[in-house]
Structure 1
Amino acid sequence: METDTITAISTPTGEGAISIVRLSGSEAIQVAAALFKGKNLHQVDSHTMHYGKIIDPDTAEAAEEVMVSVMRAPRTFTREDVVEINCHGGMVAVNRVLEIVLSQGPRLAEPGEFTKRAFLNGRIDLSQAEAVMDLIRAKTDKAMSVALKQMDGRLSGMIQKYRQSLLETVAHVEVNIDYPEYDDVEEMSHEMMRVKTKEVHAEIEELLQVAKQGKILREGLATAIIGRPNVGKSSLMNTLVQENKAIVTEVPGTTRDIIEEYVNVRGVPLRLVDTAGIRETEDIVEKIGVERSRQVLKDADLILFVLNNNDALTEEDEKLFEAIQGLEYIVIVNKTDLEQKLDLERVHELAEGKPVLTTSLIEEKGVDELETAIAETFFAGDIDTGDLTYVSNVRHIQLLRQAKQALEDAMEGIEMGMPMDIVQIDVTRTWEFLGEIIGDTASDSLIDQLFSQFCLGK
């Protein structure tokens, strides 16, 4: 493992009140002390902050007014000496401080390298490291709560418990095989193995049951707003976003391209996509927009299908019902402030049990009911992030599914009466899949690939 001193800007680029240059490594305090005019950083207490100036060694002049935090190993995020130089916000100021620090020997950190060092030094496991980025990218308070619990090690603790149970089972089988002469060691029977595997299998199944909701909280619902032109799709987007993101006019076909925006609906993050009205058209630009809209349908987790209460149901509407069959959708009958010309009985028939809601977006009616329906479509009642452990990471979900399948293979082998050493192979595979979640059995290339997705300075 590399132990050289690294540095990077740990705050977003652009203007702001404060920017931070972070250092981590055995020479972090030495480098900062050589550049800092103020207290002797070698002599200050750990986890203290000090006012002073950064001196440019080339000119011996003050380059920036700063506050410097000193944190000594091992009580730091990376378990190495860490220094954070707080300077004025802005590209010029922070880049100048970074250049001066780099001139003293540290190298520029790779994306996610501070968190990677925390993982390699045993401060956190791989699932906790991934939760760091989940926390940064959280779109709602619920998503943030899930990420915080994963950072605290709730999922890690559960995985460790499952692995320990399987390890004890495998070890027991190994003792029986290698030392059959030991009469005081209880023989691992098929029944004992069945009980152990069923216990862990049930626990993994429970985690996977809420995995879909966890993934939604982490990544958001890809939500497509569809319908014929001028039914109120852009008005719906503006209402949910509470901002005029989309152009709203009485002219059909105004929306020519895809408009995307994130919005928090009852704790559920939606990635709203306002599509061009889907209809037959000779307009080349609008036709491209319509084709893009059809593609969005294929990738959507949820579809908000908007109909016009003031129009009779058309052949195009019925074709859209056909296009979204088998998908998750909510029908929204808009413009209820106008005369009803839509056959609602036919709409319910075409919806085949899916929610059908009425709204008047111009009067802001029916929006609360829509938000409730969206939340209840994917979460039964309120979203509970208290005692429930959500698995939200796609990598974790896939590994849990593989672990579950390996256990089912083991259980099948037990039912068939296969020798214990053969059944043990599948139990060991389960143990390894679970180990990949927390990083115990993950390859170096996987670890490098995961941390490369982090932002620079984290």
Structure 2
Amino acid sequence: MIDDTIAAIATAPGEAGIGIVRLSGPMAVEILDQVFVPSRGKSIKDFPNRRLTHGYIVHPQTQDKVDEALVVYMKGPHTYTAEDVAEIDCHGGIVPVRKILSLVLSMGARMAEPGEFTKRAFLNGRIDLAQAEAVMDVISAKTEKGFDIALGQLEGSLSKEVGKIRNNILEMIAHITVNIDFPDEDIEEITYQGLEKQAKEIVDTVAALLSTAHTGKIIREGLKTVIIGKPNVGKSSLMNALLKESRAIVTEVPGTTRDVIEEYVSIQGIPLKIVDTAGIRETEDIVEKIGVERSKEFFNKADLVIFVLNAAESLTEEDQQIIQLVNERDAIILLNKTDLPMVVDEAGLQEMLPGKKVIRISVTEEIGLKELEDTIVQMVYGGQVKHKDLSLVTNVRHQNALERAKKSMEDAVGAIQSNMPLDFVEVDVRNCWEYLGEITGDTVGEDIIDRIFANFCLGK
């Protein structure tokens, strides 16, 4: 049982309209009552639970006013942490929120650890571990799609899917255990054929969830995308067009971009961490040379390469060198400046880059940009995931647990097909059940729980 009261600033540091100091625990309301004087009434306890009340935060010994505030207290268990919670809404400057936090700490609360409010919600059974992790995904979502998926997981979309699989596995375990422990009793005897069918169905279900992990990771973290090409082919113009703002400098002079420029852009709900690189070419300019080397570094780390060529001129040796680099990567080839007479041999280019999508565009005339966006979306989803599917696996920890669960159930299938004793089959089936339990926190160790919540921000 948790018997202490924690406190933290729940809003970002800096100047703002309001700042919030949050308390949770058995003494939350008592501490609030000692430091708050309502404009009407003698005590915060004179006002109903969950009602916002105006007044002043005062020092209980000196009665000096600390700040004007609106406060509310909420009795557990129907609160964020499932404990008694109090919140103080004060002016949003650095000084008032810190003074109020110091005051409540001096009254018996202790400073909350990172993520401890959400950790208490988990430990008190209000949410499971997957839902707790979704809290930070909601906060850090970079697109509406990412937000929708995180919100769905906060509401339990992934947990429900995992729960269904674990319930099916539990039925298998129960059936196996009964047949092991009571072989002579008059019970329905388990058949290896039926057991194999159940195990394969579970393998397929887990594999289906795993198939969403690549897409989920991209939506959560962003698709690392690099725009590459020789100087003056329109890379910076393309980035500005995707961002819908003039972020990169555009001139007729080759080599204008001498370093990499990074920005996030949402393409139909998919976050792209897009990088405009210095044009790759041989140069004696020391600064530009450094930029070219950095371009190659980002190229090697990218999930997706957008290779831009000038359609109005023949391929050069510089283009040929980049084609060799691009051939082994997931890439989209853009023939830019198609508003001018075409010079590039498109058929020959396609032969040099087999399997790569080639799109004709003109950034200045806004031709082909919609096709580029659609192509990126198709590459991310790969036909495996529907756009409205909110049960995507977006967390690497969840992916690892699913992979181990799938492997265990595949081992169980192998044991069944080899007619191994049921005791051996049960071990693999139970391992699968436990690995899936790590996702929701049912079978996870305390060290992992601590490590997860250590990544949270203070006050959450």
Normalising by structure 1, what TM-score? 0.95
Cα-to-partner distance string for 1:288-314 (whole Å, 9 max, x where unaligned): 221221121222111111111233211
* Alignment partner of 1:51 out of 47, 51, 54: 54
Residues 139-150 of structure 1 mapped to structure 2, 5 A cutoff: 139-150=142-153
**Which aligned runs of 4 or more in structure 1 are off by greater than 4 angstroms?**
380-383
2:8 counterpart SS class: strand
Residues 37-436 of structure 1 mapped to structure 2, 5 A cutoff: 37-38=37-38, 39=41, 40-57=43-60, 59-183=62-186, 185-379=187-381, 384-386=386-388, 389-436=391-438
2:127 counterpart SS class: coil
Find out whether 1:11 has 2:14 as its counterpart.
Answer: no
2:44 counterpart SS class: coil
1:240 counterpart SS class: helix
Q: Distance in 1 between matches of 2:58 and 2:203?
A: 60
Cα-to-partner distance string for 1:403-451 (whole Å, 9 max, x where unaligned): 1111111111111111111111111110111011111111111111111
What amino acid is the match of 1:67?
A: L
What amino acid is the match of 2:238?
A: L
1:67 counterpart SS class: strand
Asked if 1 retains the 8 angstrom alpha-carbon contact of 2:59 and 2:65, the reply is yes
Asked if 2 retains the 8 angstrom alpha-carbon contact of 1:28 and 1:83, the reply is yes
1:249 counterpart SS class: coil
Identity of aligned residues (%): 51
What amino acid is the match of 2:93?
A: G
Asked if 2 retains the 8 angstrom alpha-carbon contact of 1:35 and 1:55, the reply is yes
1:362 counterpart SS class: coil
Cα-to-partner distance string for 1:196-242 (whole Å, 9 max, x where unaligned): 21221121122122222222211111111111111111111111112
Cα-to-partner distance string for 1:63-87 (whole Å, 9 max, x where unaligned): 1111112111100010111111111
1:278 counterpart SS class: coil
Shift of 1:397: 1.3
Asked if 2 retains the 8 angstrom alpha-carbon contact of 1:267 and 1:383, the reply is no
What amino acid is the match of 1:126?
A: L
Shift of 1:171: 2.3
1:361 counterpart SS class: coil
Change (3 A) 1:134 1:146: same
Q: Distance in 2 between matches of 1:146 and 1:130?
A: 12
Shift of 1:45: 2.2
Change (3 A) 1:385 1:115: farther
Cα-to-partner distance string for 1:74-107 (whole Å, 9 max, x where unaligned): 0001011111111122222222222222222211
Asked if 2 retains the 8 angstrom alpha-carbon contact of 1:190 and 1:420, the reply is no
**Alignment RMSD, CA only?**
1.8
Query: Which sits farther off after the overlay, 49-58 or 400-409?
Result: 49-58
Q: Distance in 2 between matches of 1:129 and 1:385?
A: 24
1:77 counterpart SS class: coil
Query: Which sits farther off after the overlay, 87-96 or 404-413?
Result: 87-96
What amino acid is the match of 1:21?
A: V
Change (3 A) 1:155 1:383: closer
Runs (5+) with no aligned partner, structure 2: none
Shift of 1:110: 1.1
Q: Distance in 1 between matches of 2:153 and 2:33?
A: 36
Change (3 A) 1:222 1:131: same
Cα-to-partner distance string for 1:231-284 (whole Å, 9 max, x where unaligned): 111111111112222222222222222211111111111111111111122222
Asked if 1 retains the 8 angstrom alpha-carbon contact of 2:278 and 2:288, the reply is yes
1:262 counterpart SS class: strand
Q: Distance in 2 between matches of 1:416 and 1:381?
A: 36
Question: Could you say which residue in structure 2 is the equivalent of 1:20?
Answer: 20
Asked if 1 retains the 8 angstrom alpha-carbon contact of 2:240 and 2:248, the reply is yes
Count how many residue pairs are aligned between Structure 1 and Structure 2: 457
Asked if 1 retains the 8 angstrom alpha-carbon contact of 2:90 and 2:96, the reply is yes
Shift of 1:181: 3.1
Shift of 1:381: 7.2
Q: Distance in 2 between matches of 1:58 and 1:256?
A: 62
Change (3 A) 1:382 1:375: farther
Q: Distance in 2 between matches of 1:381 and 1:179?
A: 48
Find out whether 1:35 has 2:38 as its counterpart.
Answer: no
Q: Distance in 1 between matches of 2:432 and 2:287?
A: 53
Asked if 1 retains the 8 angstrom alpha-carbon contact of 2:359 and 2:368, the reply is yes
Asked if 1 retains the 8 angstrom alpha-carbon contact of 2:261 and 2:276, the reply is yes
Query: Which sits farther off after the overlay, 47-56 or 245-254?
Result: 245-254
Asked if 2 retains the 8 angstrom alpha-carbon contact of 1:146 and 1:385, the reply is no
